[in-house]
A = this chain, B = another copy of it.
């Protein structure tokens, strides 16, 4: 099969990459089969090729394979069993520590701005872009993934356990392994809810929620054999009313982020 997809399929909207992206589902049950070292390295190398702001590459990823450590992290993430069960658990960290240490010898005591909201955003975005490339790469290899935001539940404990220095914070985890389930695709918001033309259309984005509420009620009804059909907007209301992870700002400022 030709590797040069750019030339061979440029004109078509029906290519393998779009098809792969369109099939994404989060996987929460994994076969015990290992992920090879070669696979892991190919996935992280693909992650590294993602865009990065001014080439700062402000992220690190910790591949956790030690079973005891995976179990601890599973507990800290809110008892999500798949964190312990997946063969490799990746902890994606926004990382300005390496940057500051690398810069130090050149600075001669000049003031620096690692602690700005801007640099926090840069590190967070760099990490997310790399992680999403990793997700796509993993799925291209037949592996499944799920992002674990629950890693921020007890973020100080996670950071301590993984030895994260100042200016490094765990943004999310990612389970990696061969899927032992085939979840149904989850419908997304209608395209006009997220895609605006030349100007933000506040009325349209909110109007589109009605159609999505119906879609998601139907999806839930099917998945639960009729037991649940809560509309999306009601689920979102519960979510917004939940005081989750209010420790984040203090934690981040303690790590040297977001101080100005």
Residues of A near any B CB (own CB < 8 A): 1-11, 13-24, 26, 38-42, 44-46, 48-51, 53-57, 59-66, 69, 93, 95, 97-107, 110-114, 116-119, 121-122, 124-125, 128-129, 131-133, 135-137, 139-142, 145-147, 149, 152, 162-165, 168, 171-172, 186, 188-189, 191, 193-200, 202, 205-206, 209, 232-246, 248-249, 252, 258, 260
Nearest Cβ distance between residue A35 and chain B, in whole angstroms? 12
- CB-CB under 8 A from A7, the residues of chain B are 142
Q: Would you list 5 pairs from A and B whose C-beta atoms are within 8 A, ordered by A residue?
A: A21-B49, A60-B194, A98-B206, A101-B209, A129-B132
Closest to A252 in B: B117
CB pair B116 A249 closer than 8 Å: yes
Of the residues B14, B141, B248, contact of A118 by C-beta under 8 Å: B248
Nearest Cβ distance between residue A220 and chain B, in whole angstroms? 11
